[in-house]
Structures are given as C-alpha cells and as structure tokens.
Structure 1
C-alpha cells in the first residue's frame, strides 16, 4: 500500500488508537467491546470499518465525546496530526464544558485544608469517624 494513499476504510479500534482517543489499540478494543463506542448510533465491533463522515459517540470515564470522522489513518502520529482526523460536534463541546463547570462548582463548597493532617489530626479524625458509626 502506498503511504500517500488514503485507505477506503479503517478498523474502528485502529482508528481510535491513531486518533489518540486511547493509548493502545488493545484499550480501544476493550472500550468497543464494553459498549463505550457507538458508530452512527449503533453498537460496533473492533473490526468495523470506519469511513469519512461516520459519527462516533465515545465514553471515557465521565467524559462523553461525539466526533465526526474527517480523515482515515492506520498510523499513529503526533497529537496535532491526530486532531485533523476528526471534528468534535458543537453539542459535544457544549456538554463537556457544562460538565467541567458543574464539577468545578460542585467542589467549590468543599473546604479542603491547606496541608495534609499530621499524626495527631489523623487520630482525631479516626476517633470522630468511629464515634459516628
């Protein structure tokens, strides 16, 4: 295969790895098998061929991404090159931003100490927890 030639289709696990959504192809395969990746609104298998224009929904932990495949690649390149392989939808960007703001606001009411508790403070905390249960 000529390196300058664009393939007609690329395996889903290989494309997810090449686009840097997962560190290894094995992790991409596990995510697909676990139902964390949908292609065009339907479940997919690791060997499903992706084409330009396909819409993927990817779940990584709490993060939900919806991307449109712009280009195909079977090789993993640098991050700027990988970002040219897809385009994230406006709804996905807005949802991720809203989730980020929600996480930040949720943690704002939590008063955290400036340092870790010392041995005496840890014993007091443990004593307090024991009394509560």
Structure 2
C-alpha cells in the first residue's frame, strides 16, 4: 500500500507473521499487548502506516518493530521479513548468567521401570 492509507493492525501482524492467525492477532491487540508509537491500543481495527513503530509483547518477550510497508498478502517468511525492521535489543544473557551451565535439576526418568516392591513403596508414600 504505497498510497499511505494504512492497514488494520491485526491484518498487518498476520501478514508479517508475528502471529499464526488473524484471530490470534485480534486477541493480542485486544489484550493490550501492542503499542503503536508508544500508545497502547486495544482496537484491532486501528490503522498502521509505514514508519510506525510497534511494541509487541508476546511469549514473555518484547519485540520492537518498525513498519516499512503494509503487506498485500500473507506470503512466505522472506516476503514477510521485508515488511518490518526489527529494532529489538538482543536477548539478555546476564539474566541466566552468560557462563552458567544449564540447570541440572528437574525430573530425570529412571533407566528402568520400578519393580513391584518399589511401586508399592511409592504408592504408600503418595497416598499415606
């Protein structure tokens, strides 16, 4: 859309492959997770134009996208990547510790299934 009229925000998010479906894009905007030029919006029909900056909070990350162009279709990922410029800062490795090893905690499955005695002991422990 080179004429500068704009495009609905939910449609643009779908065309740019930020979300998988247009209905998910509508829900994302209505939840307040999208800002257009630093202004929070809950209206999925709000128009965006080239040079607008979107701040999208999705999947516990914040993406800052500068709109280059409004799309005409949901094409391949290479075509969608041309619709915006990603201004997001690189992920912060200091939160986990850059040199930290992955955590060793959590569930590790046993090498063999429990025998009858171990199963009964587990049931007694579990149910009292």
1:40 aligns with 2:34: no
Alignment of 1:93-108 (within 5 A): 93-94=89-90, 97-98=91-92, 102=96, 108=102
> Which residue of 6, 11, 16 corresponds with 2:2?
6
Greater alpha carbon shift after TM alignment, 52-61 vs 12-21: 52-61
1:18 aligns with 2:15: yes
Runs of 4+ in 1 over 4 A off after TM superposition: 103-107, 121-124
**Unaligned segments of structure 1, at least 5 residues:** none
- Matching residue of 1:59: 57
Choose which of 85, 88, 91 in structure 1 pairs with 2:86: 88
The Cα shift of 1:60 comes to 1.1
Aligned length: 123
Quick one: distance in 2 between partners of 1:59 and 1:103? 23
> In the TM superposition, what is the alpha-carbon distance from 1:33 to its structure 2 partner?
0.4
| Structure 2 unaligned blocks of 5 or more | none
Is it true that 1:116 corresponds to 2:112 in the alignment? no
| TM-score with structure 2 setting the length | 0.76
- Tell me the distance in 1 between the aligned counterparts of 2:25 and 2:99: 32
